[in-house]
Amino acid sequence: MDYNQIFRDRTKRFAVEIIKSLSDIPYSDAVSIIRKQIIRSATSVSSNYRAVCRARSDKEKFAKICIVVEEIDETQHWLEIIEELQYVEQNKLEPLKSECEELVKVMTTYKYKLSKI
């Protein structure tokens, strides 16, 4: 089983779902800032995870996974804010929060394992 491919696909799919879910929110200055930040962090997770898979050394891989963990944590933060502000219906938000939580756990574990190399 190619876990790198599985998580490349998962992180990309997650970023796409974030973009789709937020595109329907009516414009306001606050929404614009939040939308920009969460889209930036979610897409960063995906692009940096791809970089992890192509790293040329363990040090480079560790540096990139650190970015992935930071960005998925930030994405989780923005999802919490979106939830508190009730910008997205709960039934649409719950799958995003669940996937984000799983990605936080997986990427944090991966980072920990790489730190032991």
The CATH number linked to 66 is: 1.20.1440.60
The domain in which residue 104 lies consists of 3-115
Asked whether 87 and 34 are in contact (CB, 8 A), the reply is yes
Which pLDDT band, with edges at 50, 70 and 90, does 24 fall under? Answer: confident
Element (DSSP H or E) covering residue 2: none
Question: What percent of the chain clears pLDDT 90, i.e. is strictly above it?
Answer: 95
Q: In terms of residues, how long is the chain?
A: 117
Structural contact between residues 78 and 96, judged by C-beta atoms closer than 8 angstroms: no
Scanning the chain, the segments in alpha helix (DSSP H) are: 3-22, 29-53, 58-85, 90-115
In single-letter form, the type of residue at position 100 comes to C
Find, among 95, 116, 81, the residue nearest to 21 by Cα: 95
When divided into structural domains, the chain yields a total of: 1
What are the pLDDT digits (tens) for 63-104? 999 999 999 999 999 999 999 999 999 999 999 999 999 999
pLDDT at 44: 98
